Structure 1
Amino acid sequence: MNWKRFYLSLSFLLAFLGSGELMAQCGNFRAYAYPDSSTCPAQSVQAYTSGGQSPYTYQWSTGATTASIATPSLGTYSVTVQDANGCTTTDTIVVNTFSLSAVSIVDASCGNNNGQIQLSVSGSGPYDLRWYTANWQYVGSGMTLANVPAGSYTVQAYDSTTQCYESQTYTVGGGNGPQATILPDTSSCPVNTLFASVSGGAASYTYHWSNGATTSSISNLAAAQNYTLVVIDPNGCADTTNYYIDTLCNQQPPCNISILMLDDSIGCPANWVHAMPSGGTSPYSYAWSNGQTTASISNLVAGFNYMVTVTDATGCTASSSYYVDTTNCNQQPSCNISILMLDDSIGCPANWVHAMPSGGTSPYSYAWSNGQTTASISNLVAGFNYMVTVTDATGCTASSSYYVDTTNCNQQPVCNMQAYTYTQGCPADTLSAYAWNGAAPYTYSWSTGLTVTTQSNRHDAYASNGAGQYSVTITDANGCIAVSSVQVNSQAPMQVGYTINDASCGQNDGAIDLTVSGGDSMYMYSWSNNVSNGWQEDQSNLAPGVYSVYVYDSSGCSVYLDSLIVNGSGTINPSMTPANCLDSLGAIALNPTGFSNPQFVWNTGDTGPNLNNLASGVYTVTITDDSCQTARTFFLDQDSSCAIMIAGRVTDNTAGGTCAQGTAEAFRLVRLQPAGIITTTNQYGYYQFTVMQTGNYTVELLPDGVSSQLCPAANISVNAANVGGYYGGNDFVVTHPPVNDLRVNLVHYSTSTPGFSLYTYVYYCNDGNTTQNATITVDYDSQLEFNTTAQNPRYNNATYYAYSNAVMTSHDAVNNNIVFTANNLGAGECGLIRIYLNTPTTVALGDQVANSVAITPISGDATPANNTDVDSLIVVGSWDPNEIVLRPTRSGDPRGQAEIFEQDDVLDYTIHFQNLGTAPAYTVVVRDTLDASFDVSSLTNLQFSHPATMTVENGNILVFTFNNINLPDADSDEPGSHGFINYSIDRDPNLPLGSVIPNKAAIYFDFNAPVITNLSEAMISAPTSTRQVELLNTSFKVFPNPSQGQYFISFEQNQTQDLHLQVYNMQGQLLLEQTQADAPTSGQMSFDLSNFPAAHYLLRINGQEQLIQKQ
């Protein structure tokens, strides 16, 4: 169950003590009416409560007084709930239909991205509509999908009022291109003139013959030569055909006459026969051995053989014969009667049986072994065998028998009943039991002594003994028994207090300090307003404003604090008008509030709160009032009317070897000089630069180390002479050598936290140019769970999603691996697999979990190093979801200070982000300023959680832009509120040992201040010449350490127990494990790492009392 929604089904009591704490009163009592979203329209609605005191009474607008009601008709339903304190609250819900239909579909003209789908939606709204390609690539949202190429598109629609979900798939056609045919002039031999015949497409065709001609016909042709014609219409649609000039003009066609002999199938022997020729040239002539010359002859003589010769119009001949056979004329028909025995399926044993014959000639007669002659007999004797013989009208007979069986008559019903238990209330005070696959009535016997018999398969009881373990035994009408138990944790209500420190003058240094007690431990925090460390308990570096927070405990209970006001000694709410490149009419308005006698000093010399008539540039203001001073800096940009667009496409035409566009080259790096701007192509191979200055530019396709640039042979020059102009068609065509090259990448979308899902993404690509069948194997940590029957409501109740032909073929829960296959993976095709792994609540904070993935076949792969990937995580209870993570890391923290080795020339970074605000984010921009030690032109393996573009500013700032991402906020859709970026980049291989490579990013959600990630620092070191294990616990000593491979462990412990030893590398892969049974209170163990390379390793020792684990 999604924990973000789970708290709505719980009631909780807020009891806060002391200054600044919030008391639970009627103002906190809420009712929520939710529809049964399994059907649309909903067939029932359920009332939930929060903030009140049980028991509750319900009053629906229909007159019903139960917590849930049926909704047989469409309309609005309201419920009023009263708790034990007399507090009342009301909520309403709309039950309505929800459907989609396409108003219009506009096909894409050949080769263009101008297709469109217009939807009509019937429901209550507001709606969330998201569009995907056939490979499940996100391409847009809303009622209209525009500017798309031909293909299949699926819209996933959600009605937030009725909570109905609908999915439909529509096809955008490719339009009709020209269809070309070459017609020869056959008056001469060999042919000397060819004519182009074209239909379809748009008129005004252009013709391109292989001899260089551009007319609709060509003459004076060379014999024994092939001529190719390409026809192109004004939309760029093309068709190709060819014609070979044959010199075999005077050869006679071959003779291929065949003769089918048809006879008189009624008479026996046959009285006539007909010769039917084919494969020749009509008309045909006939010559029979009896002198006749027609196609058919009659009055045949039995036992005689007749010959015929057929001649066609070209003189070709063929012969055949027919024999008048009398062998089978007097044979009797065969008997094929079968009998179906139908019995009395209601009684046990059966009381009657019916014989049903088929395959003979009616009418039928019946002879039973008990003397009866009808088709059915009754009053059967148990355990007796009855025989019947059936005779048809031709005298054919068949027999069958029926045994009156009593074996299964007195069998007892099979017991498949299952029992489930859970708790309700915050803190939990209600026990709920649920019976499945049983028969009413049910008897519930609780461990509290309560026993109740009811027709319902659900029963609620009060947890009368407080916290502890409760069990229930359920017995159904068939005597089937099922037992289940549930744990009731803390009975103390969760209490949240807070202290607020206001912000200084014009600064963002406010703070909120929470104090949490009661409930179940391991609290989670969800803050509003996109604060930078939203999952931590306390917040700092806050601007003046109003904040709110949800606090959750491990049972799903929650407390909500709103109106947490951080005051300040003055704030500004600036607004900016971009400069226009033609008349420089930009402006900045500070809109100050809360200052006392403020004074303003700008770097321009102005002294007011506003600046006007500005060109683009950097502007700084210092604000001084009676008590404080602060400064702000603004960058004023130019508006879009000044923008000059330079665009093109990169494609692969290895198959054709020409300059014609081929398949898209996604995520290729393209550079614009002299601006020094680098961007990437999108998934369809298109790229675009935006510049503000007119002039001459050069477009360069940066090499990727695999392909070769075919067309053009050099860079492309662009004379951008007009402000606001568009300069397109700057296309590159590349070729690839024949190569097999599969690649796989593992990305963890979230953290490993006890009780929550670990969203794991597996990206796989065919970087080669041959179609391959791939196998993807995911090995997940033994501490994690993959439940193939679990449901994730966000993704159509699927436990995993697999795209681009990938399907799950096996799951081994013992060895913790999942296998997928992706057959017919085309050149350049990529796919995605989403897997939802669960971290059980029994996993301890601080433990390490490691998952890995491999794609095969590896043999013959051009870059086998990227056929595997591994990622390890530390189990955490709270975290910052906006972060940057480094791989590989030989030791240390991949989110902080980490160690890499000299051979680690390529570094991989993943930037995670999450919308922690109170509304969807429509635009997300991530700016990653790279250290000078990185080679920007080496960027590879670009992967995004949502469609995005990437540009490079100032030669070292990566700018990732997610336009129209519509990223949900965490409160409304926690799984959907995440996003990420992944890329690989080369570092300077000549950096000395000890060099530190820093990296951090700034994340912008719409127009809010940036969220700054953690600082990742990679220090370069050399692998040690020995193997070293670190174990910091005085009761265990490892020696020698470092070692050449052989280790000894001296240990002391409180009691005799089994000791289990495991050795991991720093990527989390298990290398060695062994167990010493009944280890004494003091002694020694040993292990050998001689077969492993020199490096740091992790030693883990498990005993019954403790876990020793250190790097």
Structure 2
Amino acid sequence: MNKSLNLASKIVAGFFVIALFLSNSADPPNGRTGAPGDGVCTSCHGGNNFEGHINILDLPSTVVSGQRYKMTVAVTNTDAKAVRAGFQLVSLFDEDFKNAGDYISQSSDSDVSKIGDRQYLEHRGPKNFEDNVATWIFDWVAPDVDEDTEITMYAAGNIANGGASSGDAIKFKEEKIKVQAASSTCDFSLNLNVNQISCFGANDGEVTIDPEGFQQPLKFEWSNGEKLFIAMAALSAGKYDITVTDGSGCSIVEAFEIVEPDLLEVSLRSKFENCDDLTMNSLVADVRGGTGKYTYKWNNGSSDEVLQNVTVGNYSVTITDESGCVAMDQYVFELKDKEPPVISFTDSVDLYIGADGTLDFTPLNLNETDNCGVASVLLSGNKSCNELSARNLNYKVTDVNGNVADASVYINGIIDTFPPTSPCREDIIQDGCSPVDYALPDFIDNCGIDTVLLIEGLASGAQFPKDSTKVTYEFYDFSGNSGTCTFYVVTNNNLMLEIDEVQDASANNGGSIMITAGGGTGVFNYEWIMNDTMVVSSFEDVSNLDPGSYVVKVTDGSGCVIHSEPITIELGSSTHDAAIQEVEIYPNPVNSVLYLEYTGTLMKANIVGFNGQFLNAVETGFASKTISINLESYASGIYFIQLFFDSEMQTLKFVKQ
């Protein structure tokens, strides 16, 4: 670092370094540092108030053009609530906001990318916090400049929750350094002797300059503004630099850092060596922080790290490190085991349900130990399987001396692979056709039945037809597992039906069907259905039928029902050539007058009701191809008009409003 400087061109330099800590991206987008011309990470991250900060460690306050420096990016989560972090760096000249210097990655957890002339160093995969700190090491080469150049430094950071980007916290920071132009080496040299801070929070750091080969007079300029001394004392933690100029006008800049150790702390805890004899116990001093080896001084004169065979009383220990820093703790000892059990388990797992409806907790790997023995273990919370959602259970362990340890165990979900079953029920046989009331079968599941569906047959309380009816229920548990149950309802009665005569339709006349119903009791009711959709008659025998498929349903006075097989009415032969006439009726639906337009020779036209009953004959004129029909006297409903041409018959439906 011993480079001479042109004193005539002292210009304060700066250095944009933006550290953006991203939590949910293996390759964060460039240009999100908040530097001039960049965006900011709050466009994607935010919504949390994690406590913490970011720092660029080992960053000199003054650097020399073309020199290479090793640095560390560190993010610290001071409230210990965040999960992981990432980063992004960029350095820019203040004069034109162009890239300044070159980044060099030192490991696979970071890499360099570019946008235009700007170079970004950023993480490759977020890094989890260790002791609430995440760090990345890299090298940076200062930019080549012919003269000292002004630059400003900015920093921004993201402390992440490890989940969605909306749960992160953004932090900002500003620093300054100098970039000095390289020149020929001065004829003299400097040696710095640095004494670091002795104890956390002290300001006793010192530095002494030892120049060699210089020309008088020497001038000093410290970064804290002092100019008269060759040494500095009472320094607090921080980064400093010293500029020394000899009588030849050549200057050397040396940077140094004063650091402080971690806070020296001690905490006492009791430890029982023999739970059957509580007088055989010890006090352990847990020490952290400070510098070097520790010395122990107990109030009973012992200097051991662990105080053995402790009896009832008040104890204290004083810890001194190699720098003379001191920490103390006190402890009131009783003849009682105060050490809680130690528990461990596997979190965030799925649990399976057994055939008996109980949860299998084996995947949790529950384990408990205690220095004097475990008295009881309790796993409480919602352990039922009538819902399958995630949940938290409480794992509580009590030792033989009443010490308790507990923890919350998170369950992802409940999995049930056992389908429901049913013994179903016996078939039902009855004489006559009264409604059949039957009890539903028993449906059995380890976690209960969620849904029961009738998918075939008739429900309880329905009137079943003659002979055998298949009834099938499908049932589901809360996991979607399913089963089925099938039984039969058999109705015995002597209701019978015979088809006496079937006449096909012709060009001039509709078809007809003659039947005979017998047996049963009381008066018979008839229902004729055409093509499985339209009821055309409620009489025993039917006529004026269009070509199609017909089924008759016969119901006796006791409610017994019998259906015929489908009966087909076809269009019989004609002496005329077959021809399909073009027919149009309008408007449809109709309020008062219905118009009929057709081609061919219309022989006659009839209006029939929805049940097939003849209602009215329509007058036709052979010369006219248009007929108007006044329907004002007709009630609202569905009607049919039968058209008999010389070579065919057509039936059209219309609606009277």
- Larger Cα-atom Rg: 2
Q: TM-score w.r.t. structure 1 length?
A: 0.16
